[in-house]
Amino acid sequence: MKTLTQAEGRETSLTSRLPLPATFRAALADGAAMALAVVLLAALFWATGDAALQRVASYAAIMLTAVCGLQIFSGNSGIVSFGHSGFVGLGAYACGILTMPAALQGATLRNLPGILAGHELTLGGALLVIVLFAVLVGALSGGPLLRLSGSGASIATLAILIITYTLLVATRDITRGSQPFYGVPRNVGLWTSAAAAAFALVAARLFRDSPVGLSARAAADDDRGAAAIGVSRRGAWYLAWILSVVLAFVAGALMAQFLGAFSPKDFYFHLSFTMLAMLILGGMTSSLGALAGVVATTILIEIVRRFESGAVLFGVELPSLFGLTDAVLALSMILVIWRRPLGLMDGRELDLLRRFGRGATPPAELPAIARQAPGGEIAAEGVGKRYAGVVAVDGVSLSFAMDMITGIIGPNGAGKTTFLNIISGDVEPSSGTVRIGRSLRGHSAVRFARAGIARTFQNLRIFGRMTVFENVLVAARQVEPDLARAERAAWRELALMGLDEVADRPAATIAYGLRRRLEIARALALGPRFLLLDEPAAGMNAVETADLVQRLAEVRTRRGIGIVLIEHDMRLVMNLCERIVVIDHGQVIADGPPAEVRRNPDVVAAYLGSRSLKAQQDNNQEDSPTEDTSQ
């Protein structure tokens, strides 16, 4: 485990030219490998000369394009979307109208609006128009949708599907209503669909580890924790939604020129169910899962369809079983969710570079730590918070200066955490204001984080499904101008907190004490002016607590930031803090140096009934070292 002193020897100024970000290289290698696999499979099917097999492979590749689009949104946001099959339908009809021969269009769509008539574009030209149309549709539909979250957002996507289907049926002059839409050129075959699928896989893999993808996954893992590092859930998910809609439209355009004729029902519940089955079977959270799900589902469907119309099995004649394919898909989903909740790929990507020993490693040169300019402060002026008549904080006025460690103590239920939530932007006060050098427009954790307030939580809010490195990287990216510099800053914070040796492990799998330090490292990656800690030593043993005291003292000394912490461990508070604020029943009852607060009779009285502060201090003094480690 590296200490701050050991890590300091590795720090130098950043060079002006940085290498390609390691996360980008890893994602590009994985995407290229999956794309190559798709191309090789296409070559294998082409070499067989079997037209039926090539048709199955072409359809599977188009579905893979659509499923990758679904994965970009649902896999990174955690919101299951039922509406993407509707966007596939819109793309199909748009392509059909734009590429249909003008003479045939005039005969079959006599009342088509003039703005849509007579274009007869090539597939490439139509795709350009369709992508622009998809961006517009995604932007308009994503705005209201992403004001919701969880099941509410999923239900909204179902509403989008129903609305889209209704529009396709109702606009008869454009779509021929529920009747088949025919006459579309059939120019999409095996190679075109394979090329689109390869592109979609690379896009999905790159997006997952892009700054926006990291932010989207962080918000999906823990919305409050993401807001505390300045991540806007709505912004990250909005961009993911638009990109996913674009890929769905592209898949629809390819589907149109693959089928040649179709109707609205082809893009309704059955297609939505099939797309979701493919993604859930393979694994919603990874592009590799999308690929595996499409391959496994396609093979399963082709096998089951041979029995759907009746067959002879082991000498027994089986009757026709209409709907057998859907039933088997549904059963497969249930089995996979039961046995492997994260899908067949268990939520993993290929991670080829890491497997071959060329993954992300700490750079030889780490960026130097910038000391914050003095003079800033957090000022709470008469803040109060009421919950249904219960007063949690009652007119508290406090200010906290930089380059000082302040401890907030008090009995359980005194209002300490509520006050910390207020000054971090996580909770809006019922009365009073909070200034961070200046008043902020709006009271939100995202705005406060971007203004220089970083915090940890009483109950850990790490991003458990992301790696330790990704946890810190997503915070560093909020303040660094590019991904390469963000990676270096993340490695610096990991080294300073002794976490670089577990950087590639999922955050949920590391020891509890390391997770506590990870949350602090993530907060420090923001380069904050103030660090707010809510019971940072909770659950730690004596050795871990002593190590934390040393690290926090050095953080303050080297960075010049203000640290405000809530803690019940009086040894930690008295050894580390230069100022102590005592809160009881939502009010400040003492504020001053540790020695003065220790003798305050109101403070002693507040702790009576369980264990007095004075008695606790007497016990702590017997065990505490004589040297003040905060100096």
In a domain, 1, yes or no: no
**Last-in-domain residue among 509, 527, 545:** 527
Torsion angles phi and psi, residue 116, rounded to 5? -100, -10
Domain boundary residue among 474, 498, 527? 527
Domain total in the chain: 3
- For the stretch 505-532, what's the b/e string if a residue is b when 16 or more beta carbons lie within 10 angstroms of its beta carbon? ebbeebeebbbbbbbbbbbbbbbbbbbb
Low-confidence ranges of the chain (pLDDT < 70): 1-19, 310-319, 438-439, 607-631
DSSP 8-state class, residue 182: -
Residue 37 lies in a domain: yes
Q: Is residue 152 part of a domain?
A: yes
Residues forming beta bridges with residue 424, ordered by sequence position:
none
242 touches 216 (CB < 8 A)? no
- CA-based nearest residue to 272, from 256, 288, 252: 252
pLDDT for 308 equals: 75
Strand 431-436 versus strand 377-387 pairing type: antiparallel
Tell me which of 503, 527, 551 is where a domain ends: 527
Q: Which of 250, 224, 204, 203 is nearest to 76 (CA)?
A: 204
Full domain range(s) for residue 588? 378-452+529-631
Instruction: Report yes or no on whether pTM surpasses 0.95.
Output: no
The confidence score (pLDDT) of residue 598 equals 84
**DSSP 8-state secondary structure symbol assigned to residue 506:** B
| Residue at 466 is within a domain | yes
Q: Is the domain of 501 the same as that of 616?
A: no
| Radius of gyration of the chain measured on its C-alpha atoms | 29
CB 360 within 8 A of CB 23: yes
The answer to whether residue 337 is domain-embedded is: no
Query: Is 359 part of a structural domain of the chain?
Result: no
C-alpha 337/C-alpha 335 separation (Å) is 6
Q: Is residue 514 part of a domain?
A: yes
Q: How far apart are CA 306 and CA 421, in angstroms?
A: 61
Closest by CA to 92, choosing from 246, 245, 244, 250, is 250
The torsion angles phi and psi of 517, rounded to 5 degrees, stand at -70, -30
Contacts of 2 (CB under 8 A, 6+ apart): 495, 496, 498, 500, 501
Same domain, 382 and 512: no
Q: Are residues 545 and 482 in the same domain?
A: no
